[in-house]
Structure 1
Amino acid sequence: MSDADDVDADPESDTEIETGGDMDISTANTMRERADESRFKLWVMLSANRLFITAALALGVFAAFVSLGTFVVPEFVSTLQSGDTKSTLFSTMLGAILTGTTLIVTISQLVISQENGPLGDQHERMSNTMDFRDYVSELFDGPTPADPSAFMLKLVDETRRRAKALRDSVSGHDDDDLREEVDEFTDSVTGNADEVGDQLDGTSFGSFGVLFAALNFNYGWKIFQVERLRHDHADSLDDETDLLLSELRTTLSMFGPAREHIKTLYFQWALIDLSQLILYVAVPALVVTAGMLSFFGSGPILGVTFGVQNVLWLVGGAFTVSLLPFLLLVSYIARIATIAKRTLAIGPFILRDSQR
């Protein structure tokens, strides 16, 4: 999965609005504000290019190694000059690289194996996909888009359209509470839909932008609000308004499985990308580690450059290169784990305290 196009972790959004009683109908338009977490944290965990995060981690490891050996534990230099220390360090890293690379290849095989199967299984997969597309196409005025970002955008636009139709249906209603709550709910839906639509526009599957935009659309809370409106104002709703609420709920419900499918595809794509990248960096990591064992493992490394012992520059650099497969794994799994935690529930279930 290409990470060339980073996404903004903090688009502008509306603040929460409280209406009668303690019920918050509106919510913020972004995942970050709903979760009430640091913009920088979400940028690192989600939005930032994974190769950039890997490079930043590698630079941090190298800087920490050289700084500790120069300023904090200066006697470490004499320890490194010993052949046993360098040999032990890099022989351990050599085994770790081989083991880690083998593990990643195994993960790739597991991901690929999900795509393999007998003809009956493939036919069932195709049938389920086409059934869902046929069902969703009934919501649209036209064919169901094949592009993932266009498909999600179509669902978001349809949700906006039906929310506006709902507001128009109650604009002259005698029930002031119903009218005010529907107005606020519609403003929340359209605001969130506009924000997500802007993020989806121009994105394509192959970057994280499609899934990130989908994460910003909190469809589960909107489903709950539709159900609450139908229950609290059952006596005031006419047949047309009740039908519009039902249709809006159906549209929102289609967003859930669509987002989960996009998420599953992204996970598979990202894990395959991770496997490829680790295989690419494992070769130079093995060469550097083996070179340190062969040429520098049994003798001292003399000299000083920029006030730092050359042994620290060389060993620190080689150690950082040998860590690259692990640092790549950390950067990718951090994003995947964050997404998985934020999408554990499907439907109107609120798992985080900040959204309750």
Structure 2
Amino acid sequence: MSGVERNDEGVVNRAVDWVLFDGSRWAVAGGSLLPIVVLLGLMAGTDLLVLDDTEPLLFLFSAIVGGNFTLLTVVLSVNQLVLSRQLESPGEVRDRIGSVHDYRDEVESHTEGVAPVLPPEFFLRVLEGARRQAQELGGLVAGRSPDPLREDVDELVETVTAQIDRSRELYGQSEAGTVEVLVVALETNYAMQIRDARRIKRHHEAELSEELRERIDDLIDSLEHVDVARQYLKTLYIQDELARFSRLLLYVGIPAMFVPICVLAGFTTAPGIGSTNPFLPALVVASIVVGLLPLAVLFAFVLRVASVSQETIAITPFTMAQQESEDRSNGSEDGHPGS
């Protein structure tokens, strides 16, 4: 996955974004195990890992096997969650399709042409439609002499345009997959701009022409469509990510169970093997790492799913203080017209 730099404030912030959103889950899982590998390797190389008494290792590997049994039951729970969203009656499927078509029709009424069917292109079309509505709104007041209404509209248009341009820039950096475009969607929170548009309608009600009022309503609708698309992208992503997570957890879970069980069997049948086999420390280190693989995979996937959910927890017309703080740090200052 290509890096989508959501925050340009420094290397640390980019590294955090890579771990939380952009990075390969295999790389994140491997990175979480790296300190353990290094520490155990140093212990084995400096004779700090003494294996004359194998009884502590029996307890350790027994705990790993028992923990992995518990982790693998997570696969069943995750699959039940995914299946519960996909097993529907024909009537429920028809209702879902109808609601999606209704939403597409609303989007197409504010954009040009037929909306794309792929989520990345569809989301970009929604963004472009909102930008076009903002530009048309700005064009209606461009001929007015400077006054509070024009200043408020110009500030709103400038803010919306800047945020959408930022999202389009991030979209250009990504590989345009569902996960990548969702990372871009995390930047799109227009609750403040919708509030400002409604404030303009209220504070300048006497000065607004019918056409200007309709354009403001169209802009509000377009920004709400962006949020609907963002939440739908999140739903698609989480379903896909949970299904992939359950499959990968099974892949790593089988060797993570088999290897520690073999080590346990070896220690049980040959209790004094630790003092006679020079390769045993390396074998123990490798077995511990393999046994911890399911936990590392769980950490990597849950970290991203939880981060995405936190970033998209608020829906229009609400926002979170954390989201607004991140928007300002990325150079998108909020306008507050008509105060």
TM-score by length of 2: 0.86
**Regions of 4+ moved over 4 Å:** 67-71, 309-312
| CA positional deviation for 1:353 | 5.1
Aligned pair 1:352/2:318, yes or no?
no
**1:157/1:46 Cα in 2 relative to 1: closer, same or farther (>3 Å)?**
same
Match of 1:338 among 278, 282, 307: 307
CA contact (8 A) 2:129 2:222 kept: yes
| CA positional deviation for 1:149 | 0.7
| 1:228 equivalent in structure 2 | 199
| CA positional deviation for 1:289 | 1.0
Q: Deviations over 1:216-241 (max 9, x none)?
A: 12222221221122223223322222
In structure 2, runs of 5+ residues without a counterpart are 326-339
Q: Deviations over 1:215-270 (max 9, x none)?
A: 11222222122112222322332222211111100111111121111101100000
| 1:77 equivalent in structure 2 | 49
CA contact (8 A) 1:211 1:259 kept: yes
| CA positional deviation for 1:82 | 1.4
| 2:336 equivalent in structure 1 | none
Q: Deviations over 1:86-123 (max 9, x none)?
A: 11111221122122112213211221221002222222
| Aligned pairs for 1:194-205 within 5 A | 194-201=165-172, 203-205=175-177
Root-mean-square deviation (CA, aligned residues, Å) is 2.5
Aligned pair 1:64/2:33, yes or no?
no
Structure 1 residue identity aligned to 2:40: F
CA contact (8 A) 1:302 1:310 kept: no
| 2:274 equivalent in structure 1 | 301
| 1:6 equivalent in structure 2 | 2
| Aligned pairs for 1:249-328 within 5 A | 249-296=220-267, 298-302=271-275, 311-328=280-297
**Aligned partners of 2:105, 2:255: CA distance in 1, in Å?**
49
CA contact (8 A) 2:43 2:49 kept: no
Match of 1:93 among 53, 64, 67: 64
Structure 2 residue identity aligned to 1:145: P
CA contact (8 A) 2:6 2:14 kept: yes
Structure 1 residue identity aligned to 2:110: L
| CA positional deviation for 1:67 | 4.3
* Structure with the higher helix share, 1 or 2: 2
| Aligned pairs for 1:96-107 within 5 A | 96-107=67-78
**Aligned partners of 1:97, 1:171: CA distance in 2, in Å?**
65
CA contact (8 A) 1:148 1:204 kept: no
CA contact (8 A) 2:7 2:13 kept: no
| CA positional deviation for 1:212 | 0.6
| CA positional deviation for 1:178 | 2.5
Structure 2 residue identity aligned to 1:284: P
CA contact (8 A) 1:159 1:251 kept: yes
| 2:101 equivalent in structure 1 | 130
| CA positional deviation for 1:286 | 1.8
| 1:211 equivalent in structure 2 | 182
| CA positional deviation for 1:11 | 5.8
Secondary structure of 1:216's partner? coil
- Identity over aligned residues, as a percent? 28
| 1:23 equivalent in structure 2 | none
CA contact (8 A) 1:167 1:183 kept: yes
Structure 2 residue identity aligned to 1:218: N
CA contact (8 A) 1:104 1:275 kept: yes
**1:274/1:174 Cα in 2 relative to 1: closer, same or farther (>3 Å)?**
same
Tell me the number of residue pairs that the alignment of Structure 1 and Structure 2 aligns. 321
Q: Deviations over 1:25-78 (max 9, x none)?
A: xxxxxxx89xxx93332221112111110111111222233446778xx7x633
| CA positional deviation for 1:204 | 3.8
**Aligned partners of 1:220, 1:179: CA distance in 2, in Å?**
21
| CA positional deviation for 1:175 | 4.7
| 2:21 equivalent in structure 1 | 46
TM-score by length of 1: 0.82
